[in-house]
Amino acid sequence: MASEGEPMDTIIKVEGKVMPVDVIKVTTSYVRFTIPDNDELFTINRKEIHKIIYKNGRVEEYNDMVVMMIDEYSWEAVWLTEDPEDVVSLYKRGEIKSQSSPSSRSPKAAKKNATIRLQKKAAAMKGMVVLVKKRQATGGYGEFPGYYIEGVVYGTEPLEEEGEDIM
């Protein structure tokens, strides 16, 4: 464990956050490290890392910096997946449903409308990823097209328990 006077490794995340750490292990999918004055082992996905500057001066670059800054809880930042592996390390925040507006002109517009509504609901729940459980297109020939999506919202932090500190 490094103390305050010793040089540290530095992880620079794609959004620009600089983290002084002690890198323990680097794999093709994650980086394991400790934080100074803390023996707890942390793991970060390599997709989130721009580069690592090691204490010996070596630099390893992984991903480009994020060009367009989107608020972490903006609906545009929410992405949908059908692969349960994508949400393994995230915290469940709740279940949501979304339906396109009844005035959609085409099936493509109905799907886009339902997706945006789902993303906005997930962002309101401070979610980052929606694991889609069901997708359904509705409306036959001569009817207005519709689209229905339901899924489970996941975020990077656990929900705050209300009333947890009550004695």
CB 68 within 8 Å of CB 111? no
Residue 98: pLDDT over 90: yes
User: Domain with 41 in it: what CATH number?
Assistant: 2.30.30
Of 89, 83, 158, 77, the residue nearest 120 (C-alpha): 77
pLDDT of residue 118: 92
pTM above 0.75, yes or no: no
Strand, helix or coil at 30? Answer: strand
Residue 158 — pLDDT band, cuts 50, 70, 90?
confident
Tell me: do 89 and 150 sit in the same domain: yes
What is the domain extent for residue 37?
9-61
Give pLDDT tens digits for 12-67.
988 888 889 999 999 999 999 998 888 889 999 999 999 999 999 999 999 887 76
For 10-19, how does the pLDDT look when each residue is reduced to its tens digit (9 = 90+)?
999 888 888 8
Q: The tokens of 48 are what?
A: 């989130």
Mean pLDDT of 1-9: 65
Same domain, 57 and 86: no
Task: Fill in the amino acid letter for 77.
Answer: A
CA gap 142, 139 in Å, rounded: 8
**What 3-state DSSP class applies to 77?**
helix
| In a shared domain, residues 148 and 79 | yes
Share of the chain above pLDDT 70, in %: 88
With respect to residue 69, please indicate whether it lies within any of the assigned structural domains.
Answer: no
